[in-house]
Amino acid sequence: MKLAKKLLSNLFPSRCIFCQQTVKQSVEVCPDCYQALPHNEVCCVRCALPLAEGINNAVLCGRCIKKMPAFDYTYSLFRYEDEIIGLVHRLKFGEKISYARSIGELLLKRLQETDEMPDCLLPVSLHKSRLRQRGFNQSIEISRVMAKKLVIPIEHTAVIRQRSTVAQTGLNAKQRQKNIRGAFIVVRQLHYKHVLIIDDVMTTGATVNELAKVLKKSGVERVGVLSIARAPVKG
C-alpha cells in the first residue's frame, strides 16, 4: 500500500496551485507563492476586518466599537483580493478535493499559532444544494482535515437554516444583516463550550454573527470564526 502510494506520488507529484511547480509538502502552495499572497496581517482583533498598514494590530475597527459582534474572535488568513479570489473560486467550483485539503492544512496552522482551543468545528456550508449534487462539500472537507488533527468533532446537523435567504451578493451591510436575521435554528442540544465556525469568505460578517448569536443563546460560551479570506467592507 505504501509503495503504491509512493509510486503514484512519483507519477503524479503535487503541484503548486499557482505556479504548477512540484511541491513536496501536503499543502499545494509552494513557499514562494505563499509568501506573495495577500496575508491579512493588519486587521481588527475581533472581526479581522483589513485595516491600513501601520495601524496598531491590537485595535478594534469602527464597526466593532459601535456594536460588538456576537462572536469572540476571528482569524482570516488572507484578504479577499488578487490570487485569493481565484483560489476561492477554484475551491468552490473546481473538482479537486486536494484544494480543500491544502486549505484545511493552512487554516489549521493559523489556528495553532493562537491560544484558542475549540471543542467543535462548525462549517458554514458553501453552496449547499450544488455541492450535494456533486457528492463532496468543500467546507466539510476543509473541516475534516482540521478535526482529525485536533481530535474534535465536526458539527453540521445541530444548526440548520430554517428558511432560505436571498443570496447575500449585491446587498450592503445593513441589508445583509436584515436578510440573515432568524435564518438559523438550533435543532439539537449542543454540549460544546467553545465552537469554531469555519467559513470561506467573510464579507460583512452578518452570517457568522447570526450563527454566533444562536450558538450563544443555546449555551455555547465562546464562539470563534476562522475563514480563508476577509473582504473589506463596502457600503
CB of 99 closer than 8 Å to CB of 174: no
Amino acid identity, position 214: V
Nearest approach, Cβ of 210 to Zn ion (angstroms)?
16
User: Which positions from 210 to 229 touch Zn ion by CB under 5 A, shown as an x/- string?
Assistant: --------------------
DSSP secondary structure, 97-126, as one string: HHHHHHHHHHHHHHHHTSS---SEEEEPPS
Stretch that binds Zn ion, among 9-17, 80-88, 167-175, 192-200 (CB under 5 A): 9-17
Could you tell me the smallest distance in angstroms from the CB atom of residue 205 to Zn ion? 8
Q: CA 15 to CA 127: how far, in whole Å?
A: 27
Q: CB of residue 37 vs Zn ion: minimum separation in angstroms? A: 10
Smaller CB distance to Zn ion: residue 34 or 92?
Answer: 34
Q: What stretches of the chain show up as alpha helix (H) in DSSP?
A: 2-11, 31-36, 62-66, 83-93, 97-112, 128-134, 138-150, 173-180, 206-217
Binding test (CB under 5 A) with Zn ion, winner from 27, 37, 47, 206: 47
Please say which residue, 30 or 106, places its beta carbon nearer to Zn ion: 30
Residue 46 lies near Zn ion (rule: CB under 5 A): yes
Sole window of 12-20, 152-160, 171-179, 191-199 interacting with Zn ion (rule: CB under 5 A): 12-20
Residue 105: CB minimum distance to Zn ion, A: 15
Site for Zn ion in 51-90 (CB under 5 A): 61, 64
Per CB under 5 A, 16 contacts Zn ion:
yes
Q: Which is nearer to Zn ion, 14 or 125 (CB)?
A: 14
Q: Which stretch binds Zn ion (CB under 5 A): 41-49, 125-133, 156-164, 184-192?
A: 41-49
| CB count in 10 Å sphere of residue 30 | 21
Is residue 18 a contact residue for Zn ion (CB under 5 A)? yes
What is the Cα–Cα distance from 190 to 125, expressed in whole angstroms?
A: 19
Helix (H, G, I), strand (E, B) or coil at 3: helix
Cβ proximity to Zn ion: between 31 and 153 the closer is: 31
Contacts of 200 (CB under 8 A, 6+ apart): 88, 91, 92, 124, 126, 138, 139, 227, 228, 229
Report the distance separating Cα 179 and Cα 46, nearest Å: 23
Sites of contact with Zn ion (CB under 5 A): 16, 18-19, 21, 30, 33, 44, 46-47, 49, 61, 64
